[in-house]
Amino acid sequence: MERELIEVEVVRRRVFAFARLIRDRMDAAVSREAPLGAAHFQIDEGDFWRWLKGMMTHLQTELATIDFDKALATEPDGGTKGVSDRAEGANDFLTREC
């Protein structure tokens, strides 16, 4: 694929489909894994599902709102500016009531 031109619209559709595939897999994982996690930790399945769903929703929202221009920008010295792992409110889901 070296030195091949790629149509922007084709790339846009493929990236969208790939992102949707990841989102759908993340959503399905909550319902698939919640009963196993609740049994493992010996806690109420509904409470665990709500906590896990809240965490996943928070993660998906965080990923959907990333400023990619900023996150992927490079410093003059070759380093990269990334998004902070500890963005404001990053762990709010840990303290929310289910």
Structure confidence by residue, pLDDT tens digits, 3-43: 777 889 999 999 999 999 999 999 999 999 999 999 999 99
pLDDT tens digits, 37-50: 999 999 999 999 99
Rounded percentage of the chain residues whose pLDDT exceeds 70: 74
Helix (H) or strand (E) holding 49: helix 45-64
Distance between CA atoms of residues 56 and 59, nearest Å: 5
Residue 81 lies in a domain: yes
Residue 3 lies in a domain: no
Kindly report the average pLDDT of the chain as a whole number: 83
Structural domain for 50, as ranges: 8-94
Number of domain units in the chain: 1
Residue 44 lies in a domain: yes
Distance between CA atoms of residues 74 and 66, nearest Å: 16
Residue 63 lies in a domain: yes
Of the candidates 64, 89, 68, the one whose C-alpha atom is nearest the C-alpha of residue 80 is: 68
Rounded percentage of the chain residues whose pLDDT exceeds 90: 61
Residue 69 tokens read as 């221009």
Residue 33 lies in a domain: yes
Phi first, then psi: give them for residue 86, nearest 5 degrees: -115, 50
Residue 58 lies in a domain: yes
